[in-house]
Chains A and B, each alone.
Chain A
Amino acid sequence: MKQYDVIVIGGGHAGSEAALAPARMGLQTLMITGSIEMIAHMPCNPSIGGPAKGIVVREIDALGGEMGRNTDKTNIQMKMLNLSKGPAVWSLRAQADKVEYPQAMQETILNQKNLAVLEAMVEEILVDEAQQVTGVRLETGDIVEAKAVILTTGTYLKSQILVGHTATDGGPSGQRASMGLSGNLQALGFDLFRLKTGTPARVATTSVDYTKTTIQPGDDVPRTFSFDTPMSEAKNPDDQLPCYLTYTAPETHQIINDNLGESAMYSGMVEGAGPRYCPSIEDKLVRFADKERHQIFLEPESKHTPEIYVQGFSTSMPHDVQEQMLRSLPGLENCEIIRYAYAIEYDAIVPTQLWPTLETKKVSGLFSAGQMNGTSGYEEAAGQGLIAGINAALKVKGEEQLVLRRDEAYIGVLIDDLVTKGTDEPYRLLTSRAEYRLLLRHDNADLRLRPHGIRVGLIDSERKANFAMKVMMIEMELARLQTLRITPKAATNAYLQTIPTAAIRDGISLYELMKRPEIEYHHLAPLMPIPAHLTAEVIEQVEVQIKYEGYIAKAMRQAERVKDLESKRIPMNLDYAQVPNLANEARQKLGEIRPLTIGQASRISGVNPADISILMIYLKSLKRSV
């Protein structure tokens, strides 16, 4: 019987990061998965990134995770979104190759030092009398011991596939559901709740008439997620596969409305709450009855399979209705259906039962990450997996845990929302959820988070050196532009007018000149020599920091104010019954969530400012009486 430092149950996107991190931090790690071939599999559309989510991928990369690098290796399209808007919301989105992505990840995992992979089903999590996790028992009866266990079972807990009026036990892509673990978790005292999600049909690439659709190409310049992927390894933009746009037709709406009673959703079979941002097409029609048509994106899934993902068309209608629905879409009249849409219902753990480290409050050493915490999306799963993996490893090593603040990372926003507010539908990150999104940019993810990656030991010495160099170069260039001045000489003004930008009347620094909206860094070249060693990333950083200086400074001041509340710690085991004058609801909520800081406490719904002042005063009085 083997003993590990960390066991990760599950091999999805959360599990992959959760297993790689501890192994890379030098701990003996075991991943247990139902099937090795299904590691990092993509049951929904193979799209990675997009607003907020794309920034999460950058954050994962900055911390030393794998998702960004793996996407760079295997994408079939890349697109920078929101370029017409400001830098705070630029975000990269990739179409990953559905076949290559998991293969590349499997290769990384199987070749990772300190990481073993076992194909098995876990029946039980083993816990001693001190409520400390000790390992797991497999379906076979075998016991594997570990100091920490991370649950990343995704949608496989007691999952049921729903199509029309039929429900079958099982997970996505024909995999077995994990039936025992749910009961085991409940026996350990955890509250579970039921969630629902779905995925649309796949049709054959060759059966679509693309002339009836609008082509949606990727960017024509090479792009990468990872800070460490050299441009030379970026995919060639010419090799990209485009997406296509079509719309629902009046006939589609007719078919759906006529068959509403057939849908699992509307026939009352589904218990779980579905995500608002991933509604089924029947949901969209019912809720937005006066909308005449809905966008449907046709996304290629892989260069190796002839499948098109019909985005925007999730449904739990029976197969025959689906067929009619699909064939009513312009361009899909003769489509050949490879896979039907389905809805899936599964158990998730109520996430307020977790600390912000993603360790469970009930069982020490047991962590939980990904969709089973009530989120949706690969990126959200991977971000949590990475944090759970890092914290499990840090715990085993006896080092300080890593909790990212809301003004520091989207991952921080995500986890704080989950453990502080909980969720009643699969949680999706949105830029609107972040109050400091101007600080949480695509371009500065490494500046924000790489120091954490270095601290926990996920960044090797070469990447560490590159990072230090980049930080220095940015500082030097910012300083240099401040010292370089131009004066209203005729030649200078003549050049400025060609850009075009207004002539200057007094001498100004190039730093000041950069603040003009129309001035880009390369415009400065004729005015001064551009240092040859500056990388595109450094230049981008310099541009953003100068152009938006005022706004960024303001956001930082606001964050600073809140940081103060964030640094006021609350003892983990504070007895709220002893705090006088708390409103009943607040007392109950605080006792349940047990926030670690005053900042976190203030975000709990039902806890009002009065309760916070009472709590602060109580904590002060505690300190005084010590």
Chain B
Amino acid sequence: MYLTETITAIATAIGESAIAIVRLSGPEAITLANEVFTGKDLTTVDSHTIQYGHIKDPKTATIIDEVLVSVFKAPRTFTMEDMVEINCHGGKIATQRILRLLLAQGARLAQPGEFTKRAFLNGRIDLAQAEAVMDVIHAKTEDALKMAVSGVDGKVSQLIQTLRSEVLTTLANIEVNIDYPEYDDAIEMSNHILKPRLEEVQVELEKILHQAQTGKIIREGIATAIVGRPNVGKSSLLNRLLQEERAIVTDIAGTTRDTVEGTLRLGHIVLNLVDTAGIRETADVVEAIGVEKSRQMIEQAQLVLIVLNNNEPLSDVDRELVTMTADKPRLVLINKMDLTNQLDLTELQLAENELVKISALEDWGLNQLEGRIQQLFDLADFTSEATENFVSNVRHIGLIEQASQSIQAALEGIALEMPVDLITVDIQDAWQALGEILGEEAKTDLIDELFSKFCLGK
């Protein structure tokens, strides 16, 4: 069994903070740590205490770092196993050496999320919590962190619970009709009554899914491609947005040869920006390879920023880019607004809110650009409050999708005039899928509901 092994890992992100924590969990966590520690005998200290000392290579007797060591004894620990946390401040290299020392002593390098998995396997946390903790590990921004945390203390569970109990009420009503056919106090759940109820649930589920999609954007960032002809100012725009000289800017067309990337926090969302090589045009013939490459970039992107030059007439490349992105979230940026206007866009028939006028050189119009992007992702009025209601985990989203499909199947069954006991099969599935998000299945709920809602029996 895997749980008999002691695992270790650097718990803090490398290079991010001054203090690094090396964590151990498993039956030999304390003895292993003790072998590389000088100070008090860790095997005899009380649980949940912190010891001062040094980490020393037992073979060469060289001191590696000055540390604080926390000892936690099972079962009152995160993983419910013995745990040790070594807080060191010697920087990246010292931290790595401590880790290697522990591995040499017989610990195994933990897989990503393995501490959480153990906590789950040991029954410390339920599945929803475990998965939320997993998300914490990957959280990128404050909001994502908030979402992940709200999962931990049961916000996701609460959201699902509410919807699930609505489904349960419907189910209980159907069940009463079936198990007590002569009981006259419960309305007969005909398909006719069922339909609007299920449609309501479906709307709710879709809302959650929509929000989840937004949640995903918050957590993972929006893949954003900056495309346009050479020299229109793509790299200048990237640098302005990132507020650093990430890409080289010259007045020579074709400066950017390969892609340049950067991450931008825009209020509550993250843009993963990619600056691309400009698409060339020789004697009005669009260079096929350049277009092809841009097409790929555009396909992968969730948002496309097309940069045009206010100072030049519209070209075939510009037209091609606009057509290519017609059904994608995109914005058409008219750069170099500080120069005289030579560009006429009337033939493109763009909507007013697709156009943003900017000057990368003089740094104006960028606030408006950011506003437009937020609008585009329906996040303009995205308050921190609202973030708490996102379902952020891929598995949860999958299960909600499953529930939504089951409700859909029930609605299709109703359209086919299937009898109600068959329709309930799908409703039950939806109920179960929602229950699975909480990691527990609760069949008896239904029977409890039956007898608490209805006065039954002889």
- What residues of chain A have their CB less than 8 Å away from a CB belonging to chain B? 45, 51-52, 81-82, 84-89, 200, 275-279, 284, 287-288, 291, 294-295, 297, 311-312, 314, 430-433, 435, 437-438, 517, 548, 551, 554-555, 580-581, 583, 586, 608-611, 613-614, 617-618, 621
- Interface contacts (Cβ under 8 Å), in number, total 116
> B390-429: which residues lie under 8 A (CB-CB) from chain A?
416-422, 425
Report whether B3 and A580 are in contact in the complex, using a CB–CB cutoff of 8 Å: yes
- Would you list 12 pairs from A and B whose C-beta atoms are within 8 A, ordered by A residue? A51-B180, A85-B177, A86-B420, A87-B419, A89-B421, A277-B451, A278-B457, A297-B458, A312-B457, A430-B175, A432-B179, A517-B418
| Residues of chain A contacted by B421 (CB below 8 angstroms) | 82, 85-89, 437-438
| Residues of chain B contacted by A435 (CB below 8 angstroms) | 443
| Residues of chain B contacted by A288 (CB below 8 angstroms) | 455
| Residues of chain A contacted by B457 (CB below 8 angstroms) | 275-279, 284, 312
> B70-119: which residues lie under 8 A (CB-CB) from chain A?
none
Smallest Cβ-Cβ distance to A299: which chain B residue: B458
| Residues of chain A contacted by B178 (CB below 8 angstroms) | 51, 82, 85, 89, 431-432
Apart from A277-B451, A314-B458, A583-B122, list 13 A-B contacts with CB within 8 A. A81-B182, A87-B419, A89-B421, A200-B458, A276-B451, A277-B457, A431-B175, A431-B178, A432-B450, A608-B126, A609-B439, A614-B1, A618-B1
Report whether B451 and A551 are in contact in the complex, using a CB–CB cutoff of 8 Å: no
| B contact residues, total (Cβ < 8 Å) | 39
A568 to B383, CA, bound (A): 51
| B296 interface residue per 8 A CB criterion | no
| Residues of chain A contacted by B455 (CB below 8 angstroms) | 279, 284, 287-288, 291, 294
Report whether B418 and A86 are in contact in the complex, using a CB–CB cutoff of 8 Å: yes
| Residues of chain B contacted by A555 (CB below 8 angstroms) | 425
| Residues of chain A contacted by B418 (CB below 8 angstroms) | 86, 517, 548, 551
Query: Chain B, 433-458, contact with A by CB distance < 8 Å: what is the 0/1 string?
Result: 00000011001001100110001111
> B153-212: which residues lie under 8 A (CB-CB) from chain A?
175, 177-185
| Residues of chain A contacted by B121 (CB below 8 angstroms) | 581, 610, 613-614
Report whether A611 and B417 are in contact in the complex, using a CB–CB cutoff of 8 Å: no
CB contact under 8 A between A51 and B181, given known A614-B1, A618-B1: yes
Report whether A608 and B440 are in contact in the complex, using a CB–CB cutoff of 8 Å: yes
Smallest Cβ-Cβ distance to B4: which chain A residue: A580
Question: Which of the listed residues B4, B123, B177 has the most CB atoms from chain A within 10 Å of its own CB?
Answer: B123
Smallest Cβ-Cβ distance to B417: which chain A residue: A517
- What residues of chain B have their CB less than 8 Å away from a CB belonging to chain A? 1-4, 120-123, 126-127, 175, 177-185, 416-422, 425, 439-440, 443, 446-447, 450-451, 455-458
A583 to B212, CA, bound (A): 33
From B1, B185, B440, B447, contact of A621 by CB (8 A): B1
Report whether B446 and A277 are in contact in the complex, using a CB–CB cutoff of 8 Å: no
Smallest Cβ-Cβ distance to A552: which chain B residue: B422
CB contact under 8 A between A51 and B416, given known A277-B457, A608-B440: no
A279 to B451, CA, bound (A): 11
A292 to B352, CA, bound (A): 64
Question: Which of the listed residues A431, A555, A618 has the most CB atoms from chain B within 10 Å of its own CB?
Answer: A431
| Residues of chain A contacted by B450 (CB below 8 angstroms) | 430, 432
Whole-angstrom distance from the CB of B144 to the nearest CB of chain A?
A: 27
CB contact under 8 A between A580 and B422, given known A277-B451, A278-B457: no
CB contact under 8 A between A551 and B3, given known A82-B181, A586-B123: no
Report whether A81 and B458 are in contact in the complex, using a CB–CB cutoff of 8 Å: no
CB contact under 8 A between A85 and B184, given known A583-B123, A608-B123, A614-B3: no
Report whether A295 and B182 are in contact in the complex, using a CB–CB cutoff of 8 Å: yes
Report whether A430 and B447 are in contact in the complex, using a CB–CB cutoff of 8 Å: yes
Report whether A438 and B1 are in contact in the complex, using a CB–CB cutoff of 8 Å: no
Smallest Cβ-Cβ distance to B2: which chain A residue: A617
A287 to B451, CA, bound (A): 10
Whole-angstrom distance from the CB of B261 to the nearest CB of chain A?
A: 40
Report whether B456 and A277 are in contact in the complex, using a CB–CB cutoff of 8 Å: yes
| Residues of chain B contacted by A433 (CB below 8 angstroms) | 443, 447
| Residues of chain B contacted by A430 (CB below 8 angstroms) | 175, 179, 447, 450
From A432, A581, A583, contact of B175 by CB (8 A): A432
Smallest Cβ-Cβ distance to A216: which chain B residue: B182
